[in-house]
């Protein structure tokens, strides 16, 4: 019996199936974008860039997100793997592209988790009137680390608990944003706005009104604001109807975000106008707090609460894609099997989840010590990683389905043309991001690292580091590197001439 025990391989438990329903999946997709925090961070700069065309810019930023969401939907239908982009790109384009796609997703979590926790702590302290503590970087750092550990622990002890918590947090922050938007629009419409407030016109939804250059910069901010909705798809193996529910939740998430972002942009213009934002540029989140006070008076703390909840919720949901991607990569032997261990008790990828948190904490502490501006610059570098793996996913969808694209108009548009156009748009934004970030003056601190802007240096460092790890994995020559590109099995998703895809 002893010999049998030593020779019998350990059977790894699977993830907990059917732990997440459709509503919880939508909440996770929304909270991963951190809508209240994203609005606080980008609404001011977007209005400064394009003026009254801000609603149009948010609408234009939505287009590539919806096109890529279509790719996520159709790829998930035939391969509901929690590694999402990593698994799909590997199947369609081979292990090299797949590995780098997985690496990009994992690194987005590392870059942003600490910053989200930092914002969550600061706004919570501000909400309770603890302005002195909120401005104490040491206190905030300690509390932010504690918050990351807490949210990671919740991720580990149960996906179902995580889903329920995200639904509650999502309802709270969306309700706060709706209250703000409704009150602000009412005050603007009744002449209670600031002197610079403007009246609505059709020009507001024209993204080209301010010119191509301004729109391009606004689109870069818009992509950051929408990013994160695919977290719902990373939980596909733990969601009811794993092939269909996650994709539908992701698409609905993007539509809700569109309505929220455009609605708030309209409210801000009607209440305070672009001049107020231009005069208060430089401290985006606090400008949003000032606008909230203008709209809600003594109830302005509601918006502070929304931003705090948004950042706290996203601290948890941002860990999910990175940890599930690491799990998927470990299962396919793209990285050491150690990272693929699943808790037998909680049925969650405990090892990869804790490692994502540990690396994120180290990154947050080191970068914060370098400078506060460096922390903001690491967030700016996110756009490079986001555009990279979204573009790969869009291309992978068309390539994987290539033999079925001409079976119907619906298949050609939704599975082929749309995802490819989305990929091209995001690749264009990626190139523009590189050009913009190469100028040190465009960084938060305006300093130069090796003659380049810090965000670009951070992006290059992470990409090169990924190449090093990938080549090391290739030298080990695991089974993953023997995988070859393939096409979708028509029996999994038959496409009739009438466009009926089951």
Burial class (CB in 10 A: 0-12, 13-18, 19+), 498: exposed
Q: At a CB cut-off of 8 Å and minimum separation 6, what does 188 contact?
A: 197, 199, 267, 269, 270, 271
| Three-state SS at 448 | coil
Report H helices in 318-349: 319-331
Question: Tokens standing for 476?
Answer: 């080990």
Q: Does residue 465 have a pLDDT over 50?
A: yes
Q: How far apart are CA 286 and CA 302, in angstroms?
A: 14
Rg over CA atoms, the chain: 22
Query: First CA to last CA across the chain, in angstroms?
Result: 49
Question: Tokens standing for 496?
Answer: 């009739």
- Residue 284 has what pLDDT? 59
Q: Does residue 227 have a pLDDT over 80?
A: yes
pTM of the model: 0.89
- Residue 496 has what pLDDT? 42
Dihedral over alpha carbons 448, 459, 371, 119 (to 10 degrees) = 140
- Residue 101 has what pLDDT? 96
Residue 83: alpha-carbon gap to chain centroid: 15
Q: Does residue 500 have a pLDDT over 60?
A: no
Q: How far apart are CA 188 and CA 259, in angstroms?
A: 19
Confidence of residue 162 (pLDDT cuts 50, 70, 90): low
Q: How many residues appear in the chain?
A: 502
Q: pLDDT per residue over 18-48, tens digit each?
A: 778 888 888 888 878 888 888 877 888 888 8
Between CA 16 and CA 23, with CA 22 as vertex, the angle to 5 degrees is 115
Share of the chain above pLDDT 90, in %: 38
Q: At a CB cut-off of 8 Å and minimum separation 6, what does 265 contact?
A: 43, 46, 47, 54, 55, 58
Q: How far apart are CA 36 and CA 173, in angstroms?
A: 7
Confidence of residue 414 (pLDDT cuts 50, 70, 90): very high
Q: pLDDT per residue over 95-144, tens digit each?
A: 999 999 999 999 998 888 998 899 889 888 888 888 899 889 899 999 99
**8 Å CB contact between 331 and 302:** no
- Residue 4 has what pLDDT? 42
Report H helices in 318-381: 319-331, 350-370, 372-380
| Three-state SS at 382 | helix
What is the arithmetic mean of pLDDT over 249-266?
90
| Three-state SS at 38 | helix
Q: Does residue 277 have a pLDDT over 60?
A: yes
Domain 16-482 is in which class?
A: mainly alpha
- Residue 470 has what pLDDT? 96
Please report how many Cα atoms fall inside a 13 Å half-sphere around the Cα of residue 439, on the Cβ side.
6
Residue 452: alpha-carbon gap to chain centroid: 26
Confidence of residue 5 (pLDDT cuts 50, 70, 90): very low
3-state SS, one letter per residue, for 172-224: HHHHHHHHHHHHHHHHHHCCCCCCCCCCCCHHHHCCCCCCHHHHHHHHHHHHH
**8 Å CB contact between 55 and 48:** no
Question: Tokens standing for 413?
Answer: 């548009």
- Give the Å distances, CA to CA, from 289 to 116, 251, 455: 17, 30, 27
Confidence of residue 498 (pLDDT cuts 50, 70, 90): very low
Question: Tokens standing for 42?
Answer: 């980008």
Name which of 471, 101, 49, 109 is nearest 278 in CA terms.
49
- Residue 281 has what pLDDT? 62
**8 Å CB contact between 60 and 222:** yes
Q: Which of 80-84, 172-176, 371-375, 452-456 has the lowest mean pLDDT?
A: 371-375
Report H helices in 235-300: 245-271, 273-279, 284-296
Between residues 146 and 161, which one has the greater pLDDT? 146
Q: Does residue 501 have a pLDDT over 80?
A: no
């Amino acid at each position: 019996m002893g010999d049998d025990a030593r020779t019998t391989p350990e059977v790894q438990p699977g993830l907990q199936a059917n732990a997440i329903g459709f509503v919880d999946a939508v909440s996770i997709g929304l909270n991963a974008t951190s809508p209240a925090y994203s609005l606080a961070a980008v609404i001011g700069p977007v209005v400064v860039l394009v003026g009254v065309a801000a609603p149009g810019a948010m609408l234009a930023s939505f287009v590539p997100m919806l096109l890529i969401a279509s790719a996520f939907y159709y790829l998930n239908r035939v391969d509901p793997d929690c590694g999402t982009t990593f698994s799909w790109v590997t199947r369609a384009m081979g292990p090299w592209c797949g590995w780098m796609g997985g690496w990009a997703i994992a690194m987005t979590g590392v870059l942003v988790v600490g910053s989200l926790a930092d914002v969550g702590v600061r706004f919570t302290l501000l909400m309770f009137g603890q302005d002195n503590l909120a401005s104490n970087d040491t206190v905030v750092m300690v509390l932010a680390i504690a918050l990351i550990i807490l949210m990671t622990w919740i991720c580990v002890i149960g996906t179902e608990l995580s889903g329920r918590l995200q639904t509650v947090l999502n309802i709270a922050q969306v309700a706060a944003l709706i209250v703000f938007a409704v009150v602000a629009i009412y005050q603007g419409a009744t002449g209670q706005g600031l002197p610079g407030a403007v009246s609505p016109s059709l020009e507001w939804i024209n993204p080209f009104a301010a010119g191509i250059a301004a729109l391009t910069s606004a689109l870069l901010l818009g992509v950051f604001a929408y990013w994160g909705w695919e977290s719902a798809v990373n939980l596909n193996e733990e969601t009811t109807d794993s092939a269909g529910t996650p994709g539908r939740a992701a698409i609905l998430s993007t539509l809700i975000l569109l309505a929220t972002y455009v609605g708030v942009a309209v409210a801000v213009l009607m209440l305070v106008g672009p001049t107020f934002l231009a005069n208060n540029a430089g401290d985006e989140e606090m400008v949003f707090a000032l606008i909230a006070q203008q709209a809600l008076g003594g109830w302005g703390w509601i918006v502070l609460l929304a931003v705090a909840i948004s950042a706290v919720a996203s601290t948890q949901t941002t860990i999910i894609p990175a940890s599930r991607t690491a799990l998927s990569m470990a299962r396919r032997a793209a990285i050491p099997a150690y990272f693929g261990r699943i808790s037998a008790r909680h049925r969650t990828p405990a090892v990869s989840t804790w490692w994502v948190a540990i690396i994120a904490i180290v990154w947050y502490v080191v970068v914060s010590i370098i400078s506060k501006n460096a922390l903001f610059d690491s967030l700016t570098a996110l756009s490079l990683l986001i555009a990279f793996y979204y573009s790969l996913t869009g291309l992978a969808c068309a390539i994987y389905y290539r033999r079925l694209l001409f079976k119907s108009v619906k298949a050609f548009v939704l599975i082929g043309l749309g995802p490819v156009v989305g990929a091209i748009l995001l690749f264009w934004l990626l190139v523009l991001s590189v050009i913009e970030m190469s100028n040190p003056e465009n960084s938060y601190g305006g300093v130069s690292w090796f003659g380049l802007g810090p965000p670009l240096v951070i992006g290059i460092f992470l990409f090169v580091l990924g190449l090093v790890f990938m080549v090391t994995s290739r030298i080990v020559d695991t089974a993953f590197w023997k995988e070859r590109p393939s096409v979708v099995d028509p029996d999994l998703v038959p496409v009739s001439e009438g466009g009926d895809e089951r």
